[in-house]
Amino acid sequence: MTDSCDLADKHCAPCSGDVPPLDRAEAESMLGQLDEAWRLNELGHLQRSYSFKNFMAALDFANTVGAIAEAEGHHPDLLVAWGRCGMEIWTHKIDGLAEADFILAAKADQAYRS
């Protein structure tokens, strides 16, 4: 894994929908800049699950990521369960991945490590 701090230091740029999504090779290359727990799912979206000691810790993390997402104007799908928080990220306007998705993933990892 390359240090994701570079990505985490960037900000999500709004997508106007007029750019093509990253192709699979570009997405896999950018995936190498994230924690190894991230993967591309069958839809080509970024996906990861974070582990916690209990439900409230997972919920607190989801709320932290929610605040980050709102500040960045880029919103993931979150699934909170006992001891885990799952995240799925893609750019809805282009129905695929853009750099902003990787930036948000890196920011989530940074929050998880804090």
Q: Is the pLDDT of residue 3 over 60?
A: no
Helices (H) and strands (E) in the chain, counts: 4, 4
pLDDT exceeding 70 applies to what percent of the chain?
Answer: 86
In the numeric block, which tokens belong to residue 50? 């974070």
Give the model confidence (pLDDT) of 11-50 as tens digits. Answer: 656 566 678 899 999 999 999 999 999 999 999 999 999 9
Q: Kindly report the average pLDDT of the chain as a whole number.
A: 90
pLDDT of residue 2: 43
Supply angle C-alpha 40, 43, 47, rounded to 5. Answer: 40
- Of residues 1 and 71, more confidence is placed in 71
Domains of the chain with CATH codes: 39-114 (3.30.1360.20)
- Of residues 9 and 64, more confidence is placed in 64
pLDDT of residue 54: 98
